[in-house]
Chains A and B, each alone.
Chain A
Amino acid sequence: MSVERVLNIFDNNSRFEKNITFRHTLSAKVGTYAEFPPSLPTKLRELLINKGITQLYSHQEQAFKASKEGNDVVVVTPTASGKTLCYNLPVITTLVEQEEARALYLFPTKALAQDQVAELMSWSEQLGGKLKTYTYDGDTPGNARIAIRSAGSIVVTNPDMLHSGILPHHTKWMRLFENLKYVVIDELHIYRGVFGSHVANVLRRLERVFNFYGSNPQFICTSATIANPQEHGEALLGRPVKIIAENGAPSGKKEIVFYNPPVVNKPLGIRRSSLLEAEAVAHEVIKADLPTIVFTRSRLDTEVLVSYLRKSFHKLGDPETIRAYRGGYLPKQRREIEKSLRVGNVKGVVSTNALELGIDIGSLQAAVLTGYPGTIASTWQQLGRAGRRNETSLAILIANSSPLNQFVIQNPDYFLKQGVEFARINPNNLYILVSHLKCAAFELPFVQGERFGDFVPDEILNYLCEEMILRKVDKRWYWMGENYPATEISLRSASTENFAIIDTTHGQTKVIGEVDRFSAAMLVHEGAIYIHESNQYHIDKLDWERQKAYARQVKVDYYTDANLAVELKVLDVSDRIKSPQVNLNWGEVMVVAKTHMYKKIKFHTHENLGWGNISVPEQEMHTTAYWFSIPQENSVSYERDVLQSALLGIAHLFGNIASLELMCEPSDLGVTAQIRSPFTGEPTVYIYEKYPGGVGFSERLYAAHNNLVERALSILHNCPCPTGCPSCVGPAKK
């Protein structure tokens, strides 16, 4: 069935029709093409022609030219624009011409890396088998590693493996580093925030290592559309880059639908759950035989939605056509799901943002987004997962009740015209920097005066000497430890310590998944219902010390949701502005997070069935925050209760607007309010960064305070609710 027919069904069913708030058609776009560059080797030219490629998209040709002229290149184009050719053509041209030449490819996920290797292997075959491509990741077996080190022309890996497996053993990779001609980084926009700040430092370490071996490779990167590719590329790579941003690829017609679930409780301003609406919408779309991907905002939502959809398709006879896909699955499971998607055994997948990246999962025709993904760039990426060149595709964004979602769904212009986010990193975040200076010193001693990116690290290195982690002799700093610093540092989260979830049903002990330390308190506390592959597990025991959660399969009609309580202490003020109306600050704070209790929520009705206590240790974090307080003169006339709910409302609203202002992930920020802050002595709202040391958001919020206020007022004025709802200041308190 076609997309038009599905839209028709929605239009003629009042159940759906009244919730569609906005429709937009992106018309099909014709491509801009260019001839093969004259310097493209004949063999490669023939290979392309055999593949049915007789000319290039304009951006592919530009990338080839720019890179052959010696530039470090960043190609910024949307999903499915043929960006792999942008790096494969220049790289393989060099590899064909110089047999000893090597290239290093970095992909943010293993799945992407494996896709790429499959593609390169087929190229290699047609080029006579000389081009040896290997993936090197945590799944690579030991005996294969030796071959990769000595013989891999193209080594495909991820930043994590480069960080913990390759750089600390660079002598074993001498052949690669001595002959390194290209470093390819795909999906550059993923490397932002904390992860990006880590990766920028891994690249600083990479540069030290290839300099040591006397090579000076060129970089070729690709990125989804972001607002500041030049700035971001240069911050990440630490070198000037040439941007290629004109997309020459054609694209098919796409129908975009904004869908706002109906208000079910007017006084409280509560809308019907976006998850339940997504289920209904996805059901229609999948039933109409459009291969569909449904994105959710969390693992929990993914599992809940899969079980709903499976149940409803079970009635139609085929529950197996719906599969879940998320980060916590073991690698083998993920490979298997990806495969059945490609061959079409599976008609609908429900995914967290793991599939947002450019994994080749075949021809999906519809995408359903459960909740605004948090950034415009990410939304375009997810919408872009459905799209065929010659057919119309469908993308439906279903809003939830949060202010951010409601703002976006009510302001389609913001989405369509504003442009996309800035990618921000702060490679000089002290925590991140110090971690990587340790790794770098482990890899090669530092020479006095040596730079680390744009940073002169002498002071930190001296401090590490004081701490007896390094030793300085003859103007050099040497690693002085028995341990291996890279294993203690995870690029993706604040802690490296994952908790294993162990299935003990029927006396077995089988690891079914992992969660990080922070999520462990929320997801696998004792009494939690952990959902895995649509099966429910009751967590019988959480062994915090040994990082193990023991689970037992159960069948219950509820799921659990944990509450996080946060305390905050100011350590140091970096800057402040005092005024009669408000006092603004930003600085360093200590955040103490604790999960005290959880709620049991009934499936489908989502009613609260009760609660339980959680006893896990508090988690402390030094970070940066922006906060503002209301001077006594202005607040003293209000009653405590009034003040309390006003503060909570402001906190709720500002927390959401802040991520809009910063164009960062809402989950990067935390917010809390104190009616009488021990530090300011006044009613205070804090917005803090959720990574130790922060990545620079607090300072930006401090500078943008007036913008935040303006936006907050506009949302308040425009919200139809009488006394507060989840979409503005949060639900009204009794």
Chain B
Amino acid sequence: MELTSKLRKFLPRQNTASPHSSKKRNRRLDLDGQEIMTPYGACYVVEKSFPLSEYHGHWALGKAYNNSYACLEKLGQRPPKAFHMQNALFLDTETTGLAGGTGTYAFLVGLGTFTESNFIVKQFLMRDYNEELAMLYLLNKELKSKNTIISFNGKTFDLPLLQTRFTISRLPLEGAKGKDHLDLLHMARRLWRHKLASCSLNSLETHVLGITRHDDIPGFEIPSRYFEFLHTGQGHILKQVLDHNVIDILSMATLSHRLATTAKLKPEECVCPWEAEALAKQAFSTRDYSLSLAYYTAARNHSQNGEQYSRILHSTALIHKRMGQLDDACLLWKKLLEVNENDLLAHEELAKYYEHRLKDLNSAQRVTKHALAIAWSLRSPKASDFEHRLQRIDGKSKGKNHVNA
């Protein structure tokens, strides 16, 4: 048997699509872009401009341009000194797959930049695999012109993928070297992880940015759409993908503004318990306990979620403990137990309080015994901790030998 016919016979068909749909010489792009020549060949670039007065979601794009961003440090990412949006480059790629690895290509790279009057989105499209080099060349040049990259999950996904593409193309990715990179996903997670079921860009658009997409292509369909385009050469097939990419980039601008605005809220300005809680946590981690306490108070006042409420009480109690205000903390632990008798952490803290602070061994014993019974019934691994504690307290009260544990 001849090789090809053997292959046809033995290897099960993997793709069900017809292999003969490709009409090679009738390619129409019509995507309102232009071909740009590079030393590595041509690449297709689409440029769109949005006036700063244009709204994307609840805010006009100009808001993002005029905001200040040093406060983002509170959300875990520090922008460079004297950062201004003029120097930022929003980056988002569309790829041939999500699996990663060396066979995944970024076929479309969208870049967003601010001028004094407009927000410009430039999209670099490789119309076929042989245009990758030219696309990467142009991308590298654009990256060099700004000092900060802003992305959504780019630290984990887009940049490593581009790094791989550059390595395989034997081009140095100088443009990204020594650049600051603000990943909006990480910051958004801090604020809304507990509030939203998902912190995907789509979910944030709906729940915090006020953006509704019309006629949008779902992300998982994008690779197969690109392959279809490669076969047919019909540009209109990619129209939705390009639009999707533009919206992603616009949403990143809006999201930046929203994050910076939230990060600047004072405790008394907070109306969202989740945001207040996140800011409280941040203040706690910098050991600004009184500020943290203020945020927690705001969070507690607005919270309508039992789980969150308990969490806030715990954190508040912990701050009191750290500040040496153990009696205040004790009230909170008791309050926690009123809400939920099975709260082992609260039991444990109370037992410590009685044992070490008040030296009230009887109460410590009572609390620990009670906690131990609960731990047993819950089959909690904490049971052994309570057993130890109880033994120690028993020992202390018997021999009155005050060994401080």
**A442-B230 contact in complex given A460-B7, A473-B129, C-beta closer than 8 Å:** no
B10 close to A443 (CB less than 8 A):
no
Contact check, B15 vs A469: say whether CB atoms are below 8 A apart.
yes
Contact of B164 with A443 in the complex, beta carbons under 8 Å? no
Known: A171-B102, A484-B101. A434 touches B129 (CB 8 A): no
CA distance A443 to B163 in the complex (A): 15
CB distance from A699 to the nearest CB of B (A): 14
The answer to whether A710 has its CB under 8 Å from any CB of chain B is no
Residues of B within 8 A of A445 (CB): 129
Q: How many residues of B contact A (CB 8 A)?
A: 35
> B167 contacts A443, CB within 8 Å?
no
Across the interface, name the chain A residue whose C-beta is closest to B10. A622
B401 proximal to A (CB < 8 A): no
- Interchain CB contact under 8 A, A473 and B102: no
A459:B4 contact, CB within 8 angstroms: yes
Interchain CB contact under 8 A, A434 and B168: no
Give the contacting residue for B1; candidates A171, A469, A479, A572; CB below 8 A: A572
CA distance A14 to B223 in the complex (A): 75
CB of A248 within 8 A of chain B? no
Decide if B197 is an interface residue (CB 8 Å cutoff): no
Interface residues of B in 142-179 (CB under 8 A from A): 163-164, 167-168
Query: Given that A443-B103, A463-B4, A484-B103 are contacting pairs, would A468 and B19 also be in contact in the complex, using a CB cutoff of 8 Å?
Result: yes
- Please name all residues of chain A whose beta carbon is closer than 8 Å to the beta carbon of B50 when the two chains form the complex: none
Docked Cα-Cα span, A213 to B266, in Å, equals: 54
Q: Tell me which residues from 489 to 514 in chain A have a Cβ below 8 Å from any Cβ of chain B.
A: none
Residue of A nearest to B160 (CB): A172
A430 to B96, CA, bound (A): 27
Q: B7: nearest residue on chain A (CB-CB)?
A: A463
B102 with A480: CB separation less than 8 A: no
- Select one of A443, A471, A483 contacting B129, CB under 8 A: A471
List A contacts of B403 (CB < 8 A): none
In the complex, residue of chain B having the shortest beta-carbon distance to the beta carbon of A174: B167
Distance from A510 Cβ to chain B, minimum over Cβ atoms (Å) = 16
Assembly CA distance A444 to B103 (angstroms): 7
Inter-chain CA distance A170–B11, complex, in Å, is 28
Could you tell me if B230 and A460 are in contact, using CB atoms closer than 8 angstroms? no
Chain A hits for B3, CB < 8 A: 459-460
In the complex the two chains form, what is the Cα distance from A169 to B1 in whole Å? 36
Smallest Cβ distance from B96 to chain A, in angstroms? Answer: 6
Q: Are A444 and B11 in contact (CB under 8 A)?
A: no
The digit string for A582-624, where 1 denotes a CB below 8 A from any CB of B, is 0000001000000000000000000000000000000000100
Chain A residue at minimum C-beta to C-beta distance from B1: A572
Chain B, residues 98-112, CB within 8 Å of chain A (1/0): the string is 111111010000000
A202 lies within 8 A of chain B by Cβ: no
On chain B, the residues within 8 Å of A170 by CB distance are 102
B168 touches A171 (CB 8 A): yes
* Bound Cα distance from A460 to B8, whole angstroms: 10
Is A639 close to B, CB under 8 A? no
- Which residue of B is nearest A475, CB measured? B130
- As a 0/1 sequence over residues 1 to 31 of chain B, the CB contacts with chain A under 8 angstroms (1 = contact) are 1011011111101110101000000000000
Measured CA separation A589–B167 after assembly (Å): 45
Q: A171-B168, A459-B4, A469-B15 are in contact. Are A482 and B96 (CB under 8 A)?
A: yes
Which residues of the partner chain A approach B224 to less than 8 Å between Cβ atoms? Answer: 482
Q: B103 touching A693 by the CB < 8 A rule? A: no
Task: Give the A-B contact count at a CB cut-off of 8 A.
Answer: 90
**B227 interface residue per 8 A CB criterion:** yes
Determine the chain B residues whose CB is within 8 A of the CB of A460 once the complex forms: 3, 7
Q: Output the least CB separation between B99 and chain A (Å).
A: 4
Contact residues in B for A482 (Cβ distance below 8 Å): 96-99, 223-224
Given contacts A468-B231, A571-B9, A168 and B103 within 8 Å (CB-CB): yes
Nearest chain A CB to B12 CB, angstrom units = 10
Q: Is the CB of A483 within 8 A of B102?
A: no
Closest to B166 in A: A171
Does A474 sit at the interface, judged by CB under 8 A? yes
Q: How far is the CB of A194 from chain B (nearest CB, A)?
A: 16
* B15 interface neighbour in A172, A468, A571, Cβ under 8 Å: A468
In the complex, the answer to whether B102 meets A442 with C-beta atoms within 8 Å is: yes
Provide the bound-state CA to CA distance between A441 and B10, in Å: 21
Q: Name the residue of chain B whose CB is nearest to the CB of A167.
A: B102
Central interface residue in A443, A466, A482, by most chain B CB within 10 Å: A482
Given contacts A171-B164, A468-B227, A481-B103, contact A473 B130 (CB under 8 A): yes
A431 within 8 A of B: yes
Q: Report the bound CA distance from A323 to B130 in whole Å.
A: 59
- Taking CB atoms, residues of chain B closer than 8 Å to A483 are 97, 99
B-contacting residues, A407-455, CB 8 Å: 430-431, 434, 441-445
Contacts of B47 in A (CB 8 A): none
Contacts of B6 in A (CB 8 A): 430
Distance from A115 Cβ to chain B, minimum over Cβ atoms (Å): 30
Q: Say yes or no: is B128 at the interface (Cβ < 8 Å to chain A).
A: yes
Q: How far is the CB of B126 from chain A (nearest CB, A)?
A: 10
Residue of A nearest to B170 (CB): A212
Q: Which residues of B contact A463 (CB under 8 A)?
A: 4, 7-8
Given contacts A169-B102, A467-B14, A484-B101, A476 and B19 within 8 Å (CB-CB):
no
| Residues in chain B near residue A434, CB distance under 8 A | 7, 11
Smallest CB-CB separation from B16: which chain A residue? Answer: A468
The yes or no answer to A195 lying at the interface (CB within 8 A) is: no
- Chain A contacts of B128 at CB under 8 A? 471, 473
Contacts of B14 in A (CB 8 A): 467, 469
- Give the complex CA separation of A580 and B104 in angstroms: 60
CA of A614 to CA of B99, assembled, Å? 38
- B130 touching A442, Cβ below 8 Å: no
Partner of B103, one of A466, A474, A479, A588: A479
B225-265 with Cβ < 8 A to chain A: 227, 230-231
Residues of B within 8 A of A478 (CB): 105, 129
Within 8 A of A (CB), among B122-148: 128-130
- Cα distance, A346 to B45, chains bound together (Å): 70
For B4, list chain A residues within 8 Å (CB).
459, 462-463
Contacts A443-B102, A467-B15 known; 10 new A-B pairs at CB < 8 A = A169-B101, A170-B102, A444-B168, A459-B3, A466-B19, A468-B15, A473-B130, A478-B129, A481-B96, A482-B97
What would 26 A/B residue contacts be, using CB atoms closer than 8 Å? A168-B101, A169-B102, A170-B102, A171-B102, A171-B164, A171-B167, A171-B168, A174-B167, A430-B7, A430-B10, A431-B11, A434-B11, A443-B103, A445-B129, A467-B11, A471-B128, A478-B129, A481-B97, A481-B103, A482-B99, A482-B223, A483-B99, A484-B99, A484-B100, A588-B10, A622-B10
Which 8 pairs of residues, A with B, have the shortest CB-CB distance?
A442-B103, A482-B97, A479-B103, A484-B99, A478-B129, A171-B164, A168-B101, A171-B167
